Amino acid sequence: MGGIYDYLKSNGQLASNELPREDWLLAGLIHDIDFGGEFKTEHPKKTLEALAKYELTISKEIHQLVLSHAPELTNVKPSTKAQWAIFCSDSLTGLIMAVAFVYPSRKLADVKLSSVIKRFKKEPRFAAGTRRDEVAMCSLPEGLNIPLEKFIEICLESMKAIAIQIGALRSILLTTKSTSDLILSDET
């Protein structure tokens, strides 16, 4: 989310009423907090309850942003740049991680943009759960107005930039040995 924000801001594409970068980052971090355990069947409508278990709260604006990543489940359709960003990037990050998994090194740092684009465009059975049609909506003028390949590049480079943090978070959240062995960067 931070990379998309930075790209839009540097290109003068953010309106003055857009949420601040920190809100984009927070929404990106917590948007699936209710995707497991007792709340899974009601995801993403239970974000507030999942956060409350840890005595955490978020603003109404961030909650709306979180809800917009799954409009078919929440009826909150993307209308702001932040909402379009979380909607379009939600399943792309999973595809990028799947590409990392098939690399011999299993390192996100080694993933090439061309590999992600190839898997996205030419191999629909690869990471079949990726909602490619939603990711491609990044290019809509009423959405982010970012060409698809540029959008994929932004997301990939953003994930590489925080690979160490992603790895630390994964090691905290994952309990299965097969997926927790993933190495996301040279620094472990």
Q: Per-residue pLDDT tens for 173-184?
A: 554 333 333 334
Q: Is residue 177 part of a domain?
A: no
Is the pLDDT at 26 greater than 50? The verdict is yes
Asked, for residue 147, whether it belongs to a domain, the answer is yes
Does residue 187 lie in a domain region? no
Query: Domain containing 121: what range?
Result: 2-95+111-162
pLDDT tens digits, one per residue of 135-145? 999 999 999 99
Residue 154 confidence (pLDDT) above 60: yes
Q: Determine, yes or no, domain membership for 139.
A: yes
* Number of domains the chain contains: 1
> Residue 30 to residues 26, 74, 75, 126, 172: CA-CA distances in angstroms?
6, 16, 19, 26, 14
Domain-embedded: residue 69: yes
**CA separation (Å) from 169 to 38, 63, 164?**
20, 21, 9
Report yes or no on 105 lying in a domain. Answer: no
Distance from the Cα of residue 2 to its chain's centroid = 10
Q: Using one digit for the tens of pLDDT, what is the confidence trace for 37-79? A: 898 899 899 999 999 998 999 999 999 999 999 999 999 999 9
Does a structural domain hold residue 117? yes
Task: Answer whether residue 83 is part of any domain.
Answer: yes
